[in-house]
A and B are shown apart, each in its own frame.
Chain A
Amino acid sequence: MAEKIELQKLCIAETTYETTLTKKFQGRKSYVPPDPNNIRCFIPGVIQKLHVRPGQKVRKGEPLCVLEAMKMQNDIVSPFDARVKSVKVEPGRMVMKGELLVELVPSQSE
């Protein structure tokens, strides 16, 4: 080969190989375990309505906000009884997939 290739290390099953790494491999994001108290956006869209304020108590299944995505209105509901710790969005805001919408504190932990 004409050009000199810079080799990197890759460990597979306890053996370290010299090789090159692809852009995709190098761009991997390290895994962060999901926090159930953080309510995140599951599809890109626009926040239509906000039902809760910080400090407010919500029951399991109670809507937190309405997310309009792909022409559908999605109720984002509380997965458990909780107190709203913070609200990160406001109506009219465009939100990305994975963006933090509302932070909750489960009721039984208080």
Chain B
Amino acid sequence: MLNSNKHVDFFHRKNKLLNGGGSKAVEKQMAMGKLTARDRITALLDAQSFYEYDLFVEHRCRDFDMVNKLLPGDGVITGTGTIAGRPICVYAQDFTVAGGSLGLMHARKITKIMDHAVKMGMPIIGINDSGGARIQEGVDSLAGYGEIFYRNTIASGIIPQLSVILGPCAGGAVYSPALTDFVFVVENISKMFITGPEVIKTVLGEEISMEDLGGARVQTEISGNAHFCAGNELECFHQIKQLLTYIPWNNKARADRHTPRPPKPKHEIDQIVPPEPTKPYDVRDIIRAICDNSDFFEIQRNWAANIVIGFARLDGQTVGIVGNQPLVLAGVLDVDSSDKAARFIRFCDAFNIPLVTLVDIPGYLPGVDQEHAGVIRHGAKILYAFSEATVPKITVILRKAYGGGYIAMCSRHLGADFVFAWPTAEIAVMGPEGAANIIFRQEISSSLDPVATRRLKVQEYGEKFANPYVAAASGHIDAVISPADTRKVLIHAIHVSSSKAECRPARKHGIPPF
């Protein structure tokens, strides 16, 4: 064959494969309001930056007449490219090819690009849109899933792993996203579940739509499986690009430093916390009043909203912020909020992101449902995560810090490097009402006017203990600071912690309560 003929042959072969499942399947994909796998990659990465590998990979299934079936790329597109000029590995399942079903070679393509990402120390983004295991390939497709899960686990804490759910992701397939760091979903497009509506109907006789069972809202508001929800795919890609500006490329690097910017002046920090300790405020207003340009990139906004987590920058440097949210459930810790914060803390610790903890917590949420749901075990996760973290840990107590909640919220006792308190801070075993009732129970009940005595004792206790100075006298907090100085103090604390090195006894790994 002449060289020119070889080139023609090459273009012919390539173009055939680039069409994916063909125009009909592509039309169907578009009709569902979805982009094609290739368009998704193009939209997500920098223009012209994508290089594809394994386009010519073919499945090896010999059963069920599969021999004669051509599945372009075996239903998944893999490659490297750049986002904001930085290298990234990506794969996108192609629903137009056999429903994006996962066979052995499909999985091998994914594990190959995952291995690249780990070796080269760059994030991997997986775009999931698949009907599930390719049944014709039997146990080989299960093997494929297993090999992906194994690599997700090995890569965990080495490179950031992002999962984007842009179609169905059901059965075993959900466990790859579940093992990754951040899961993105899109309304009306993403569907995640272990057992689908049909199985539920057969086994339980209950009818439920895919959307109500495992749609985007369910995953971001009820289950907490997903971290970000978008109205459409392009908005989702924008969220991914934003997230990537805050995180480092691997566990040996630090997040890029951005140009420092002051907070926007409309956020007056002194005015946010109400004088009455029982009145709520939005802790995100405090965060915006502290951080660069008032930009707070919140994670899991709609799940366990009694704790707020997310990234922001202080003097251009990324910090992970964990804050109790008095606006929701008075900012208590409970099963879900502990779980949410613990995972985030571990991400920050793995990727060298300093932690800033903002405390205003009345304690743990009381209730039979909480106890029976294992609030002891789940609540322990946040203690474990904060204690285990060796990145700079800086805590600011804004108002209440009572009892177990005080300890849990990155207190000095869990290894915080700096603990600051506002003059409004109350660091105590419990609020004045509860404490006075216990300490002065006899005095109150035996007095002539128990109501008046109680009120007096509550006031006495409040005056003596509902302040930051008792804890400051013991050195449990390092300084009482004025709210207006918070940003300055935090920036200084992070600056002086920049070469923090904390050595722990060697071990294979700890055993967190998960």
Contacts and interface: CB of A to CB of B under 8 A. Distances in A.
A15 B431 CA distance: 7
Nearest to A44: B204
A22 to B, nearest CB: 6
A72 interface: no
B222 A24 contact: yes
A19 B434 contact: no
A21 B434 contact: no
A99 to B, nearest CB: 11
Given A5-B327, A7-B280, A19-B330, A13 B434 contact: yes
A20 B327 contact: yes
Interface in A1-28: 1, 5, 7, 10, 12-25, 28
Contact of A14 (B204, B330, B433): B433
Given A17-B280, A24-B222, A94-B205, A12 B305 contact: no
Interface residues of A, number: 26
Interface string B428-454: 001111100100000000000000000
B204 A12 contact: no
Q: Which of B277, B432, B433 has the most CB of A within 10 A?
A: B433
A15 B221 CA distance: 28
Contact of A12 (B279, B328, B332, B369): B332
A19 B222 contact: no
Nearest to A28: B369
A5 B306 CA distance: 15
Interface stretch (B81-89, B106-114, B153-161, B358-366): B358-366
A28 B369 CA distance: 7
A44 B204 CA distance: 6
B484 to A, nearest CB: 22
A17 B221 CA distance: 24
Contacts of A16: 278
Interface in B344-369: 362-363, 365-369
B244 interface: no
Contacts of B327: 5, 19-20
A22 B329 contact: yes
A1 B266 CA distance: 12
Contacts of B437: 14
Given A13-B402, A21-B329, A22-B329, A28 B367 contact: yes
Contacts of A7: 280
A96 B203 CA distance: 9
Nearest to A12: B362
Interface in A33-70: 44-45, 70
B365 A12 contact: yes
B460 interface: no
Contacts of A96: 204-205
B363 A12 contact: yes
Q: Which of A7, A12, A13, A70 has the most CB of B within 10 A?
A: A12
Contacts of B403: 13
Given A14-B431, A14-B433, A24-B222, A19 B204 contact: no
Interface in B234-258: none
Contacts of B432: 15
Nearest to A69: B203
Given A12-B362, A96-B204, A22 B402 contact: no
Interface string B269-296: 0000000011110100000000000000
17 contacts: A1-B282, A5-B327, A10-B330, A12-B332, A12-B365, A13-B434, A15-B277, A15-B434, A19-B328, A19-B329, A19-B331, A20-B327, A22-B305, A23-B221, A31-B369, A44-B203, A94-B205
Given A5-B327, A13-B362, A15-B431, 11 more contacts: A12-B330, A13-B363, A13-B434, A15-B362, A18-B278, A18-B279, A18-B280, A19-B331, A24-B222, A25-B365, A28-B367
Q: What 5 A-B pairs are tightest by C-beta distance, nearest first? A: A17-B330, A15-B431, A13-B434, A14-B434, A31-B368
